[in-house]
Amino acid sequence: MPEPVILGADHAGFELKETVKKALERLGVPYDDVGTRSSEAVDYPDFAHRVAEAVEKGRYTRGVVVCGTGIGVSMAANRHRGVRAAVAYDEETARLSREHNDANVLALGGRTIDPGLAERILEIWLKTPFAGGRHERRVAKIEPGGTEPK
């Protein structure tokens, strides 16, 4: 069985988060949803931090965050050590975020991409492995004080 994914969104990402949940169910990927539960206005950092903290602490290996553009939630999530949140806006950025950057949090824009594209992005992101090799050195340098792997 695939590893579970943790999800979070603000009000602008609520509808797309619901689409992501259905896609995960279709793909047989378990998930936990930390909110929000409606389109009533909330603050995106609250939900991005919930997801990122769970990834940072190792409770989940991957997460998905959604706001209006994906930018705000990615900025908040990337404040956490070991979190590499990437905004993906098409299939290629989804693939490369995993293959080259080993992204462990996918950030999506509820106001910027349609549900069908979001489902394709999610599926590619989940199925694409990290390429390692020359990319490993670069990913190691992302963390403050990061150095080349030994």
Q: 5 has which bridge partners?
A: 31, 62
CB distance 72 to 45 below 8 Å: yes
Q: Among this protein's residues, is 100 annotated catalytic?
A: yes
**Is 42 in a helix, a strand, or coil?**
coil
| Active-site residue, from 11, 49, 80, 100 | 100
Q: Is the four-CA dihedral 67, 71, 77, 83 of positive or negative sign?
A: positive
DSSP code for 8: E
| Active-site residue, from 11, 67, 80, 135 | 67
Q: Among this protein's residues, is 135 annotated catalytic?
A: no
The residues annotated with a catalytic role in the active site are 67, 100
